């Protein structure tokens, strides 16, 4: 595929990772930026969707908890965001982010979403064990 064919296309995370892992450095070709620096609406859009899913899942989880547990989870989420940004080398307010940082952000966000989903399932199972009566 010629680089002109790639312009304006949004890539899935697996395709993006494949290009990164296989060393096929197409960023400069597509965006005219030095390799590794991306200011792509596609990556931002995908990360935004993942963050929206994460936030929606957190809201669901928080609704199912007592007030003191909600405070604990909220504090934990704030610490996690700081840790995620630090581990992915993302400073607050930057407009250009390394491609690897986007992949890192997406991976960590997806892992956190999996964690929250598992936590929600655990709470549902716990509720069912204590609240379902056999007649």
Would you list the domain boundaries of the chain? 38-125
- DSSP codes joined into one string, 39-80: --HHHHHHHHHHHHHHHHHHHHHHHTS-HHHHHHHHHHHHHH
Q: What pTM was computed for the model?
A: 0.60
Residue pLDDT, tens place only, 74-101? 999 999 988 988 888 776 655 455 667 7
Q: Which two tokens stand for residue 60?
A: 């669901």
Q: Given CATH 1.20.1270, say whether it is the number of domain 38-125.
A: yes
Residue pLDDT, tens place only, 36-53? 444 466 677 778 888 899
């Amino acid at each position: 595929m010629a680089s002109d064919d790639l312009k304006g296309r949004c890539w899935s995370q697996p395709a993006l990772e494949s290009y990164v892992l296989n060393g096929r450095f197409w960023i400069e070709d597509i965006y005219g930026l030095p390799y590794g620096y991306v200011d792509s609406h596609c990556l931002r859009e995908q990360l935004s969707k993942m963050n929206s899913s994460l936030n929606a899942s957190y809201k669901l989880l928080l609704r199912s908890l007592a007030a003191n547990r909600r405070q604990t989870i909220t504090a934990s989420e704030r610490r996690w965001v700081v840790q995620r940004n630090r581990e992915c080398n993302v400073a607050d307010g930057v407009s250009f982010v390394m491609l690897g940082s986007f992949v890192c952000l997406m991976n960590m966000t997806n892992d956190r979403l999996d964690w929250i989903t598992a936590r929600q399932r655990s709470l549902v199972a716990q509720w069912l064990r204590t609240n379902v009566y056999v007649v």
